[in-house]
Amino acid sequence: MFQKSHFNHQKYVICMFSKSRAKYIQQLSQKKHRNQSGVFVVEGHKSILEFIQSGHMPKELYVVKNSLFKDHDAWVVDSSQMKSLSHLKTPSNALAVFSIPYKSSPSNTDFILALDGIQDPGNMGTIIRLCDWFGITELVCSKDTVDCYNPKVVRATMGSLARIEVCYVDLNHWLSEQKDHMIVGASMEGQSIYETSIPKRAILVVGNEGQGLSALVSDQLHKEVSIPQYGKAESLNAAMATGILIGEIRRSQTIQI
């Protein structure tokens, strides 16, 4: 668990609250401003703690008076000032600005999840939380996948973003270079995940909510898998399908071991 004394030794850049600072932080809800500044926003005491515990150092930290951070090196704001900083309708008790981690290329771990054009921030956040539960440290995304530092994504990850490495690549090109992984696509037309085996070294690729996998990515697949349908729903939500597939892959790998 988190050590209070450890937290006390963190060093923050104390930024005073000002209207121009509020405008700057508000603009960080947009991807182009995040990319220009190389920073993103995390809101909420618990999520900020998860980033700090994972070794991320906040560049700015704002707290409301009655917050748990009140004894630490942070700028204390009142609730109306927090409202002017926050990206949320109901602001939290704390807001921090962190640097976007630099990541040149994905690591060569055994099991990798790849996303091909996931658009919904809630799905993206849920998938990052899933990765954190199932011990998948590597998430590779096509360039048109929603930005993982989008405030809605950050919020939906519930702090898990602090522990997952997310890399945006030319997915088709990157997959073409993966010679020692089986590339498995999630597809309604695929083999039942219950009746096929996935090796330890595999990349599971999940497509866009509406369109599924892009044609170029489909050409790279060694196998397609699906979740058997017993009822009449037309589809499962993309994050839910990802969870059920990963749950099943982890089970089969556990049994293999």
Between 82 and 112, CB nearer to a copy of itself: 112
Binding mask 75-104 for a copy of itself (x = CB under 8 A): ------------------------------
Nearest to 101 by CA among 164, 12, 32, 10: 164
Nearer Cβ to a copy of itself (73/248): 248
230 is an interface residue for a copy of itself by CB under 8 A: yes
What's the number of CA atoms in the CB half-sphere (13 Å) around residue 42?
27
Q: Is 191 in the site for a copy of itself (CB under 8 A)?
A: no
- Establish if 216 lies at the interface with a copy of itself (CB under 8 A): no
Q: Are 41 and 25 in contact (CB under 8 A)?
A: yes
Q: Which stretch binds a copy of itself (CB under 8 A): 12-20, 65-73, 112-120, 234-242?
A: 234-242
DSSP 70-94: TTSSSEEE-HHHHHHH-SSSS--SE
Residue identified by tokens 């995390």 is 42
- Interface region with a copy of itself, contact rule CB under 8 A, candidates 32-40, 135-143, 166-174, 217-225: 135-143
CA 205 to CA 212: how far, in whole Å? Answer: 10
Q: Give the range of 7-15, 94-102, 122-130, 201-209 binding a copy of itself by CB under 8 A.
A: 122-130
Question: Which letter does DSSP use for residue 179 in this model?
Answer: -
**Rg of the chain, C-alpha, whole Å:** 20
Tokens in use for 163?
């522990």
CA distances from 113 to 22, 28, 46 (A): 36, 27, 26
- If one asks whether residue 232 binds a copy of itself (CB under 8 A), the answer comes out as yes
Query: Applying CB under 8 A, does 229 fall inside the site for a copy of itself?
Result: yes
Stretch that binds a copy of itself, among 81-89, 179-187, 202-210, 221-229 (CB under 8 A): 221-229
Which residue's CB is nearer to a copy of itself, number 16 or number 255? Answer: 255
Site residues (CB under 8 A) for a copy of itself, limited to 155-184 = 158-160, 163
Kindly tell me which of 60 and 120 has the beta carbon lying closer to a copy of itself. 120
Smallest distance, a copy of itself to C-beta of residue 109, A: 12
Residue with tokens 């947009």: 30
Place of tokens 């048109």: 144
Q: Report which DSSP code applies to 208.
A: B
CB of 254 to a copy of itself, least distance (A): 6
